[in-house]
Amino acid sequence: MIITRRVQTIAGPILTRGGATTLVRGLRRVPIIPLLIIVGVVFMAVFADVLAAHSPTLPSLTHRLKPPFWEEGGSLSYPLGTDPLGRDILTRIMFGARVSLTVAALTLLLGGVGGAIIGLFSGYMGGKIDALIMRVADAALAFPIILLAILLVATIGAGLTNVIYAIAMVLWARYARVIRGEVLALKEADFVARARVAGCSHVRIMAVHLFPNVVNTLIVLITLEVGSIIIIEASLSFLGAGVPPPNPAWGSMVSDGRDYIVDAWWVSLIPGLAIMLVVLGFNLFGDWLRDRLDPKRRQL
């Protein structure tokens, strides 16, 4: 009897009509299509070696410029067609997704998290330290990412690592400025004053009291920046300053089809659509996440 009452007590609020209605409303507001796009591209990137039916780099000139399967002359062996070297476009899109997501993840780890820490330190310390860090951030924001990447390629050489460094060297400033603005307002709050009175060190105040209050903003920024990083990486690959060939990258795939846009439209259009869908999916999910994490925007 006691166990039964405990189960009813725990399950009661969950099984009430109001709780069920709130759950249904929450599920209705979840952006299903953006989530499906994100899950799909992550799945392709992780399991590209298993899903791909062809090599992403090995050419096959006997199958060059085959159209998609729904066009005359197309084949299900190459469902999205082939490029000028006979490589399967679907396979290269899968492996290109791995490149784009790897660049986005590592860039956000270096630039996003690093910029958040710098912004947290700058906003909390204030004074001349804050002014100096913000002037450096302004200089970083004023420097074009594309030009920086081209300079790195010219001096060091093309490569995935150089793309990550080039984007992170500019991206950190965006996070630093936003997080710094949040900290400027939070450090005057009563709970920070109480922590100082209690004898907490500056490091403890920043790590324990301030950082948890800017995590929501950091998560939203990271989600919204994924699309921007994918576009930047694709632009660099399109210009030849990104991932070197024959490694598949969405930007270089679009570039490969420039001379065939009339007779073989799929070589450029399909990778371009992949970029558009993934960026749109991350942006829509980021907008939804911002609304859910911001109490002022949240509506149940």
pLDDT in tens, 154-175: 777 777 888 888 888 888 998 9
Q: What are the pLDDT digits (tens) for 101-153?
A: 999 999 999 888 899 999 999 998 888 898 999 999 988 888 887 787 778 77
Q: Is the pLDDT of residue 24 over 50?
A: no
pLDDT digits (tens, 9 = 90+) for 254-296: 998 888 888 889 999 999 999 999 999 999 998 888 888 765 5
pTM for the full predicted model = 0.82
Question: Which three-class secondary structure state does DSSP give residue 75?
Answer: strand
> Where do the domains of the chain lie, and which CATH numbers do they carry?
30-54+77-293 (1.10.3720.10)
Looking at the predicted structure, is the pLDDT value of residue 27 above 60? no
Helices then strands, each counted (H, E), the chain: 14, 0
Cβ burial 79-114 (10 Å sphere, 16+ → b, else e): ebbbbebbbbbbbbbbbbbbbbbbbbebbbebbbeb
